[in-house]
Amino acid sequence: MALFEHKDFDDHESVHAFTDPDSGLKAFIGIHSTHRGPAAGGARLWTYETSTDALTDVLRLSRGMSYKNAMAGLNLGGGKAVIMRPESDFDRAKLFTALGKAIDSLCGKYYTAEDVGVSPDDMRNVLSQTKFVAGLEEGDAASGDPSPVTADGVFRSIKVGVEKQIGSRSLKNVHVAVQGLGHVGYALCQHLHDAGAKLSVTDINEDVLIKAESAFDANIVDPDEIYAVDAEVFAPCALGAVINPDTIERLKCKVIAGAANNQLSVAEIGKDLMDRGILYCPDYVVNAGGIINIAGEIEGSYSREWVEEKLVGIEKTLADIIAQSADTGIPTNKIANKMARERIGRG
């Protein structure tokens, strides 16, 4: 498991490995850049087959957070924590208390919050050991669960993409295929349903599918069939690398805009999408709502008005990326990457 030779190592400032046998903690914290401020990004609890897989994830996710925070205009750098889910039953309080100790040892270089598999309750256990945590539901500057704001940003981005590809910002009768109905995906469905969109949805959780079918009149499809749904928009809201050589041939959409991180398996896929006439809305631009929501908390204040301004900024930034791509013939993901790297001093 060589670090510096790893294909996703991008001159990360530091990568830390933490273990705690008593709680079962095995975690990586990656700090990609602190050029714009302390690194910030959520903690993810996931089942990884190997520690190499976990390392790959933390390298990619922390780099993505640098880009996301820069493109959102935040005074934050990029970091991420990934926790390898213990194989046997474990005590969540112990696990996240141990994570809090690990984060505190970094002395403010990294702020954490919720990500996949992690809840506000888990963050309270982290908070018992360190002040470098956000996404809280208590306190003067608390912003709470950032998922609804992430969903709002994705919804706005879908409207931008649909306007470019179809010519109207109205989503009435626009068919959207949503992959993943976690906190963000389900909230996105609510926005889309309220706007009059038609929904096809998939998830591994049967209960949430039944709920979505009832609440949104959503069409339920098998997980592997979501790619082939004949919809105007595909919204990946689960895990990354879902746009890959195996799935791209099956896509029938005109726009890809979703909450998942690292949706493209490799950067070259962006050119393939462009050649197919599919508009890819870069994930770290689209899904920045959550980190925007907690940025004020990190700085010690929280203003819904400021958050709203930043959400409008997501729309403007995405529209600019799309326009530059149309003018230059360069895929949107490469346009966004260039802009982001310039903003973190690596242009």
> Which residues are catalytic, by number?
80
d(CA 321, CA 165): 14
Cα-Cα-Cα-Cα torsion 139, 66, 9, 134, nearest 10 degrees, comes to 0
Q: What is the β-pairing status of strands 39-40 and 219-220?
A: unpaired
Q: How far from 304 is each of 187, 277, 292, 296, 309, CA to CA, in Å?
A: 18, 37, 10, 9, 9
**How many angstroms separate the first and last alpha carbons of the chain?**
28
Q: Is 342 buried (19+), middle (13-18) or exposed (0-12) by CB count in 10 A? A: exposed
Cα 163 to chain center, whole Å?
23
Tokens for 10, please give them: 């991008």
Residue 293: count of CB within 10 angstroms of its CB: 28
DSSP string, 229-268: ---SEEEE-S-S--BSTTTGGG---SEE--S-SS-BSSTT
Q: Given 3-state DSSP classes, what are the helix, strand and coil percentages for the chain, each rounded to the nearest 5?
A: 45, 15, 40
Residue 218: count of CB within 10 angstroms of its CB: 23
Q: Assign 20 to helix, strand or coil.
A: strand
